[in-house]
Structure 1
Amino acid sequence: MSRFKRLTIDDIAEMAGVSRTTASMVLNGHAERYRISMETVERVRAVAKKHNFTPSELARVLRKKCSQSIGLVIPNTSNSNQGFLAQELENFCLAQGYQLLIATSNEDAEREAVSIAQLAARQVDGLIVMPCSSEPERYLPWVERLPLVFIDRYVPESGIPSVVTDARASVVGLLGPVLAKGVDELVFFGGTPGLSPSCERLDGYRQALSEGGLAEQEGWVFERDFRLETGYALMQEWYQRHGRYPQALFTTAITLLEGVLAFIRQHHKMHEAPQYLLTFDDHPLLDCLPIPIDAIDQDCRMLASTSLELVLALIRGDILSERDLRVPARLTHRRLVV
């Protein structure tokens, strides 16, 4: 049995010497309507404050049929980009009078399904998900239950509204100047095959190669997942196979880049590395590295605000004029390419 005492409205009423109904009216802001004396109001509030008590949120949700909360499911809060996104979204939610509840999937579809179910069970008013599966049937049943919006990724043929970065154009813009410099080897470390960001970033890579007049060679493209340890493993496997680093390397996520840098630091103390290192996702700490890394900086603020606007519109019952929105990214060039 827990040693912690869970206070109820009955406990507050008893300590304040009033009825349960009176305590409830005071703490739910209805004292004036029911002409409860100021002396009683102050006594009830003082007891509640002393014991850090607030009325049951569950009871309020059941009574009003809304929770003033939004659920967010993302793969991993240790991913800096996803952490920034969650922080921005929480700020926007608070500004709109909503609480953000966060769960993680760890890029596991079954864990994601459990997280969505748990948030729905907590009666969130809407749900924002960064999907880790490309299977529409995993998400469509929830559309009948509550407003659902995808962020940063989308699921083709699901019809579920989404807000994503314009990845293809961003990748072409990032890689183009390096290819124009005369690079003749550009390796691609990608994430989970089939997911929308994986597909679009690979499409952008191949478009950049085509526009740069460089034919893709066998053994240049590797796709596995977005985990840090995968970036390390891919870099290790390449180096063991070739005995050197690729001339240019593009990683499709900051986590993959972290793994690559971990290998370089561990084995070569950052003194040996790809001549050109580029990545999707940016971080201020990249400014401090001895290796210049060009990056695609996603607009987390715009992704967060736009996805929240969509889910709030669905909560209100509005008809969405646009269901799939793309947000432009910024390019950070740390290496001077002439």
Structure 2
Amino acid sequence: MKILISGVGGPTPRSISRSIKISKYAENSKLYGTEVNPLVYGFYESNLYEKNILVPSSRDESYWETLETFVKENEIECAMIHPEQAVLAWSLRKKQGGEWPCKTILPDYDLVKVLIDKGTMTDILKDTGLVPKSYVLDPKNLDFVKLEQTLSYPFWIRSTSGSSGLGSLKVDSRDSLKNWMTINPDVSEFIASTYLPGRNLACKLLYHDGDLIRSACGERVNYIMAKVAPSGITGNTSFGRLLNEPDLVDLATKAMDVLFKATKTPKHGFFTADFKEDVNGRPYITEINIRMVAFNYSFAKGGANFSEDILGLLSEDPSFDRSYKMYEFEPGTIFLRDVDVEPILMNESDLMKY
């Protein structure tokens, strides 16, 4: 099976590729990568990929011709598409009646467009009790009075689009908000939300042709290079936990049901729903990613290999069990990660031995 991995320079595609290499399909799988930036580590990981090429941005007119040629020349059968802009481009091509170069599993464009914009997603879910009170603001035309009537300080702010905690900060006053917007001139729109001090949770959901196939939960505790971000959040987890929380899965699927219905799209694709808990431990959805996230490989090493599941579906493997499964982990399982190295899984109780 020849598999295209897009955006191989990023930590998430690297995580996906490594997950494939420890899956039951590893021996018969060959990986081929694409990347827009030649100055990234993952582009040169020859131990993972048969061949990598540079491609234009997915917004570029020549993107599809370059990609189709690469797929045809190497007889690539299926793809795992990241990052978000590539997912957007592929889903739009399908909506417009175009053909994909090879098979993949992606949500429909109308849902992708909603989930990329955290403000739009939050607005759809605002009456469900699943999202925190929020306010979308334009830094060039901000009504401070209206904002402060909606939310009291402190509150959380971040960009409505993008990943890695872009533009995120706990805001304590009007002056700190003004200063933060000034030093983030490239953020055209922010979303402010009730500050939630509790656990930072993630729920992974794999849907296929109308059915929920797999789920798993985890917690982000600390972040790689956290000191470089004022919020302490870089989007790349250094220490986390693998959790067994069916109630979190229920909340995530309730949110997805609302979003599927609102966008009139089928239940199909892989999603990572991010939650933050309030002071009482009640979780609220802060965003839903249309893709896997960087600690996917840690889940795979813990037994929840979503890359393997997706390949089972794409290859139409007759042995693949399509019945729903929530992955469960040994209680206390944690993972430790750092830049460009294998994650370590262990029991949290073992930390005290050192």
TM-score scaled by structure 1?
0.40
Structure number with the higher strand fraction is 2
TM-score scaled by structure 2?
0.38
Structure number with the higher helix fraction is 1
